[in-house]
Amino acid sequence: MRLLSRKKKEELSAGDKALLAEFFDTQDQLDAIRSRFEYVTEPEMVSSCIFELRSAQERYSYLLGRIRAKEICLKDRSELFWKE
């Protein structure tokens, strides 16, 4: 696998790959919650979606911060699973 971190130009560790996988999963969750939010009409469901959205946004921000701190560079998620 040829995934590179920006600073050291070396393959990503298993931990970094897991971090990226969790980041992309969180992006998918955010998209699903936003989509569901557009269609709910009952006040309780609106509140639930807002709570879920805030939670997923916090997780996204945290993971993004960790990725930036490690200076991991990845153009898109297809690179995460690309093999030579």
Residue-wise pLDDT tens digits, 37-75: 999 999 999 999 999 999 999 999 999 999 988 888 766
Please report the pLDDT score of residue 14 as a whole number.
85
CA distance 22 to 13: 14
Residue 3 pLDDT > 50: no
Do 20 and 12 contact (CB within 8 A), yes or no?
Answer: yes
Q: What is the mean pLDDT of residues 8-33?
A: 85
Closest CA to 73 of 3, 1, 15: 3
Counting every residue, how long is the chain? 84
Residue 22 pLDDT > 80: yes
Please report the pLDDT score of residue 84 as a whole number.
40
Element (H, E) at 42: none
Contacts of 3 (CB under 8 A, 6+ apart): 11, 12, 16, 17, 74, 79, 80, 82
Question: What amino acid is encoded at 66 in this protein?
Answer: R
